[in-house]
Amino acid sequence: MVAIEGGRDAFRCQQIMRDGPGGRSDVDYRSHCLVSQAMSQAELAWRRELAAQTLGDLRDSVEAKHPNAPRMARNRLDQPVR
Q: Are the C-beta atoms of residues 8 and 1 closer than 8 Å to each other?
A: no
Question: Same domain, yes or no, for 27 and 40?
Answer: yes
Q: How many percent of the chain have pLDDT more than 70?
A: 95
Note whether 12 and 42 are same-domain residues: yes
Q: What Rg value do the Cα atoms of the chain yield, rounded?
A: 21
The count of structural domains within the chain is 2
Do 47 and 59 belong together in one domain? Answer: no
Instruction: Name which of 28-32, 56-60, 77-81 the model is least confident about.
Output: 28-32
Same domain, 41 and 74: no
Same domain? For 43 and 73 the reply is no
Q: Which domain holds residue 19?
A: 1-51
Q: Residue 18 in contact with residue 24, Cβ under 8 Å?
A: yes
